[in-house]
């Protein structure tokens, strides 16, 4: 057999493998880490399969690949992950370093509240106009387990989607711009008594929402009901009818910053519509 190529998204590879099957090309796949997948085809099929693979690399999330999976009835992943079914630790290790770093800092700071003096830690990291580093640090401060887990789950999922589809520097731009803008907005509109990654999460939401609109040929990152729920949640926060206090202005300006980065990315890449 001959190597057709490798790709870093097993779910996307599932689609192209099913697509090749619809053209009478059978392939085998192999992955040592559950992330980078290598596709092999018979030597006599290589010349026929190669153009399809190049089309896949140019547009790996085209709907025709998911449609191919539906046509042949493929509903399971062909990748056998090592050891446990979830493999959360190994999957986390394979994530981009920025996703790992922000997650680790957030967890460490939250745990430190129970080990050291929480007020001293918060006062050192909360927004302070005279300390530029604190224009970013409120994003990694969390005040409860649910608050922490909710933000980190979205941060990791949406962040990985952004890296896979738009690259690391796009995620970095989303994180830095949204942390800066959302923290400044919350401080100017309310006060410095806030914290959490939710402004960044709403920026990721905004980016993924607009990205899917600008690139309709790719599989949407988020469904419309989920986007609608998150937007309604933000509106309810402004209406002050929820049982928790939220940094509403951070959410709004985080969302707007993520939307802006999506439009800028489309302009720079030259692929926006």
* Distance of alpha carbon 45 from alpha carbon 172, whole angstroms: 41
Place of tokens 């937007």: 231
Out of 198, 212, 257, 260, the active site residue is 198
Q: Let me know if 27 is a catalytic residue.
A: no
Q: Let me know if 198 is a catalytic residue.
A: yes
In the chain, what is the straight-line distance between the N-terminal and C-terminal CA atoms, in Å? 40
CB neighbour class for 56 (10 Å; exposed up to 12, middle 13-18, buried from 19):
buried
Q: Supply 150's token pair.
A: 């909710």
CB 192 within 8 Å of CB 127: yes
* Distance of alpha carbon 241 from alpha carbon 235, whole angstroms: 10
Out of 147, 251, 257, 260, the active site residue is 251
Q: Supply 97's token pair.
A: 């370093």
**Helix H or strand E encompassing 39:** strand 37-41
How much of the chain is in helix, strand and coil states, percent to nearest 5? Answer: 65, 5, 30
Q: Supply 158's token pair.
A: 């949406």
CB 194 within 8 Å of CB 138: yes
* Distance of alpha carbon 4 from alpha carbon 173, whole angstroms: 33
CB neighbour class for 273 (10 Å; exposed up to 12, middle 13-18, buried from 19):
exposed
For residue 62, the SS3 value is strand
CB 234 within 8 Å of CB 182: no
The residues assigned a catalytic role are 198, 251
């Amino acid at each position: 057999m001959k190597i057709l190529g490798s790709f870093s998204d097993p779910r996307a590879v599932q689609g192209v493998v099913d697509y090749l099957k619809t053209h009478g090309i059978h392939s085998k796949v192999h992955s040592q880490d559950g992330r980078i997948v290598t596709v092999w085809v018979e030597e006599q099929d290589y010349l026929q399969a190669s153009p399809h693979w190049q089309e896949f690399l140019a547009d790996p999330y085209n709907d025709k690949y998911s449609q191919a999976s539906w046509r042949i009835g493929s509903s399971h992943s062909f990748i056998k992950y090592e050891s446990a079914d979830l493999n959360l630790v190994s999957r986390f290790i394979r994530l981009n370093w920025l996703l790992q770093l922000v997650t680790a800092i957030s967890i460490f700071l939250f745990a430190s509240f129970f080990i050291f003096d929480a007020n001293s830690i918060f006062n050192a990291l909360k927004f302070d106009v005279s300390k530029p580093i604190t224009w970013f640090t409120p994003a990694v401060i969390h005040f409860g387990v649910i608050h922490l887990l909710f933000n980190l789950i979205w941060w990791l999922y949406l962040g990985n989607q952004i890296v896979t589809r738009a690259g690391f520097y796009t995620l970095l731009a989303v994180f830095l711009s949204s942390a800066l803008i959302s923290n400044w907005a919350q401080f100017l509109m309310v006060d410095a008594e806030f914290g959490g990654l939710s402004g960044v999460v709403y920026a990721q939401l905004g980016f993924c929402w607009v990205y899917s609109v600008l690139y309709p040929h790719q599989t949407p990152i988020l469904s419309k009901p989920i986007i609608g729920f998150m937007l309604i949640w933000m509106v309810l926060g402004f209406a002050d009818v929820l049982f928790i206090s939220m940094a509403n202005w951070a959410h709004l300006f985080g969302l707007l910053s993520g939307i802006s980065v999506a439009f800028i990315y489309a302009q720079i890449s030259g692929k926006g519509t």
